[in-house]
Amino acid sequence: MRILFAFATLTMMAAASRAERPNILICFADDWGRYASAYRQGKNDATPNAIVKTPNFDRIAREGVLFHHAFVNAPSCTPCRSALLSGQYFYRTGRGAILSGAIWDASIPTFPLLLEKAGYHIGHSYKVWSPGSPRNAPYGANRTAYNKAGNRFNRFSQFVSAADDIASAKEKLYDEVRSNFRDFIKAREKGKPFCYWFGPTNCHRSWVAGSGKKLWGLNPDDLKGKLPPFLPDVPLVREDFCDYLGEVQAFDAAVGILLKELEALGELDNTLIVVSGDHGIPGFPRGKCNLYDFGVHVALAVRWGKRVPAGRRVDDFVNLMDLAPTFLEAAGVDVPKVMTGRSLVDVLTSTKEGLVDPSRDYVVVGRERHVDTARTDFLPYPQRAIRTKDFLYIRNFKPERWPMGTAPGYGVEEGKMPDYQTLATNTRVAFGDFDASPTKAWLITHRHDKGMQKYFDLAFGRRPGEELYDLRRDPHQMHNLAADEKYAKAKSQLAKRLMSILQKTGDPRVQGDGSTFDKPPFSEPASKRK
């Protein structure tokens, strides 16, 4: 009798434990950056956050935690997502460490598949892990995809701008988001917790010129004086940036749709909600494919009902690879020892603000290859960096290479630079690691104008082997102090700390002869991937 009672008790406890496991909703925007009204710096904010409106992200931050120092591990779609899904530094994920030519290694554990094995219903809509082969492999690939209602939301401004009735066109795309999620929920077995990834690509290039104003009422002139100083503050650049913020608002609106769905299901407060993006703004200098804050500093807000004390602003440094062990711990799943990320559960459930965990005082970020044809012989531009509260130290391992790729007269034989329209629409014709955009085309075609050379050099010029920026005096990282004797001690300490971390975590770039990523299969045409 006692044995039966004990068995029944254990069974009830196990069932209760399963019932308490949270659902997980991950809203992950392509190329988002750190633009949300929750990050406004008071009434006189002089950044683009002053004009963008993200009420749903702000709600999650208000009802949960807003992180001020969240960073991607790599400012390139595939390697960033490799790190997030695996919970490891991107350079530990084999061919997942590059973009063009990426192949997923199925032996690497990923949090979605571990959750599925532990009884979770998993699914995704739009993009999780790509470009790469097999597409979205770390999340179950097509087997766990829910896109039956369509994927038009990925081209939000293109569809809505072409419509006669803007409001109706928006609603059709919102209904697509809603329907894809409902299909996912309908497929769930009763009583199972779920993990759903919402990953639209509308913030990725390209969007329709003028759509920020036409679709969202955002005025490009309101950005005057609010752009970072490495961008020329001219009408075309302001409009380009404004259109991007419109796409951010579209993403935020979709997040609101999903919140309403959770409320209707009665499962909002038992859902761990994370909203972020894979790196900085595309098609602008020092953003995507760069280790400056403009490229790696991202938005992050987390809500989890009563488990996360609301309204807190946290200064702990977070690498997005930390999310994988966070999800696993929250779900009661053992975290694989191979994961280098650190769970955030203790930070999330704390009542403290500011710096909760003193050991979270830095992040390490890096980059290898983005576009395969950006440089001669399909070579990468290897970089690693360590970011602390006061400093950014960058190690450029191959300073003789061109950081954004080559172009006629810049690393390749003299030739005619492509015209404005070509530069604005074809990424690969020049500086291939810099997305085609009106801003890119304007910078290149105006490079010989008076006062424009500095902007061009900051965007496309070669960089020294070491860079050091004092963020207390230079928040936009424009003045390299690596050669300044006054900062010799700080540079030495940061360089030593960075190399120690890279060595301990098995970075191929600093082990052996450090040439792994410069050789095939990492440095070959993407078309040769096997």
CA 200 – CA 507 distance, rounded (Å): 31
Residue 136, by phi and psi: left (phi above 0), alpha (psi -120 to 50) or beta?
A: left
Same domain for 483 and 375: yes
Global pTM? 0.95
Same domain for 282 and 376? no
pLDDT-derived band at 179, boundaries 50, 70, 90 = very high
Residue where a domain stops, chosen among 360, 377, 407: 360
- Tell whether 344 and 437 lie within a shared domain: no
Q: Which of 7-11, 292-296, 311-315 has the lowest mean pLDDT?
A: 7-11
State residue 295's pLDDT score. 98
345 in a domain, yes or no? Answer: yes
Are 319 and 462 found together in one domain?
no
The pLDDT score that the predictor gives to residue 530 is 55
Mean of pLDDT values over 229-255 = 98
Task: Assess whether 300 and 411 both reside in one domain.
Answer: no
Q: Show the DSSP H helices in 53-206 as ranges.
A: 55-62, 77-86, 111-117, 156-161, 166-186
How many domains is the chain partitioned into structurally?
2
350-354, Cβ contacts within 8 angstroms, sequence gap of 24 or more: 350/309, 351/309, 351/312, 352/312, 353/312, 353/313, 353/314, 354/313, 354/314, 354/315
pLDDT at 528: 77
Average pLDDT, stretch 79-92?
Answer: 98
Residue 391: which domain range? 366-528
10 assigned to some structural domain? no
Q: Does residue 169 form part of some domain?
A: yes
Same domain, 39 and 106: yes
Structural tokens at position 118:
């532990």
Average pLDDT over residues 309-322: 98
Could you tell me where the beta strands, DSSP code E, fall in 255-378?
A: 271-277, 297-298, 300-303, 312-319, 362-367
Helices (H) then strands (E): counts for the chain: 15, 14
What is the C-alpha to C-alpha distance for residues 57 and 40, in angstroms, rounded to an integer? Answer: 13
Q: Is the link from the previous residue into 211 a cis peptide, with omega within 30 of 0?
A: no
Contact (CB, 8 A) for 261 and 56: no
Identity at 508, one-letter amino acid code: P
In a domain, 436, yes or no: yes
356-376: average pLDDT: 97
Question: Can you read off the two tokens belonging to residue 313?
Answer: 């602003």
List Cα–Cα distances, 180 to 77, 81, 111, 186, in angstroms.
Answer: 23, 22, 22, 10
What percentage of the chain carries pLDDT values higher than 90?
A: 94
State whether the Cα torsion 343-349-350-353 is positive or negative. positive
Q: Are 339 and 430 within one domain?
A: no
Which of 229, 227, 249 lies closest to 238 in space, CA to CA? 227
* 5 falls within a domain: no
pLDDT value for 415? 83
Specify whether 345 is located in the same domain as 463: no
- Written as one string, the DSSP assignment of 188-214 is SPTT--EEEEEE--TTSS---TTHHHH
Report which of 18, 25, 14 is spatially closest to residue 267, judged by C-alpha positions.
25
SS3 per-residue string spanning 450-513: CCCHHHHHHHHCCCCCEEEEECCCCCCCCCCCCCCHHHHHHHHHHHHHHHHHHHHCCCHHHCCC
- 446 domain residue, yes or no: yes
- Statement: residue 9 has pLDDT above 50: no
How far apart CA 30 and CA 129 sit, in angstroms, is: 11
CA distance 467 to 47: 25
Quote the pLDDT of residue 16.
Answer: 37
C-alpha distances (whole Å) from 157 to each of 53, 125, 162, 236, 421 are: 17, 19, 8, 18, 20
CA trace torsion 67, 207, 244, 451 (10° rounding)? 130
- Residue 14 is predicted with a pLDDT of 40
Q: Could you report the per-residue pLDDT of 188-228, keeping only the tens digit for each? A: 999 999 999 999 999 999 999 999 999 999 999 999 999 99
Listed residue (56, 19, 479, 115) closest to 263, CA to CA: 56
Query: CA dist 514 to 73, 397, 412, Å?
Result: 19, 9, 25
- What is residue 3's three-state secondary structure? helix
**pLDDT at site 413:** 82
Integer CA distances (angstroms), 343 to 88, 147, 321, in order: 12, 30, 9
DSSP 8-state secondary structure symbol assigned to residue 118:
T
Strand partners, 395: 384, 466
pLDDT value at position 529?
Answer: 62
| Percent of the chain's residues with pLDDT above 70 | 96
What is the C-alpha separation between 230 and 476, in angstroms, rounded? 8
| C-alpha separations of 276 from 67, 251, 352 in Å | 10, 11, 22
The predicted pLDDT at position 98 comes to 97
Q: What angle do CA 252, 254, 256 make, to 5 degrees?
A: 75
Q: Which of 360, 378, 413 is the last residue of a domain?
A: 360
Model pLDDT, residue 43 = 86
Residue 81 in any domain: the answer is: yes
Q: Minimal CA–CA distance to 403: which of 424, 379, 377, 422?
A: 379
Q: What is the CATH number of the domain that holds 203?
A: 3.40.720.10
Are residue 267 and residue 333 in the same domain, yes or no? yes
Instruction: State yes or no: pLDDT of 5 exceeds 50.
Output: no
Same domain, 299 and 441: no
* In a shared domain, residues 274 and 129: yes
| Contact indicator for 437, 285 with CB cutoff of 8 Å | no
Residue 6 included in any domain = no
Check whether residue 311 and residue 396 sit in a common domain: no
- Out of 304, 329, 360, pick the residue that ends a domain: 360
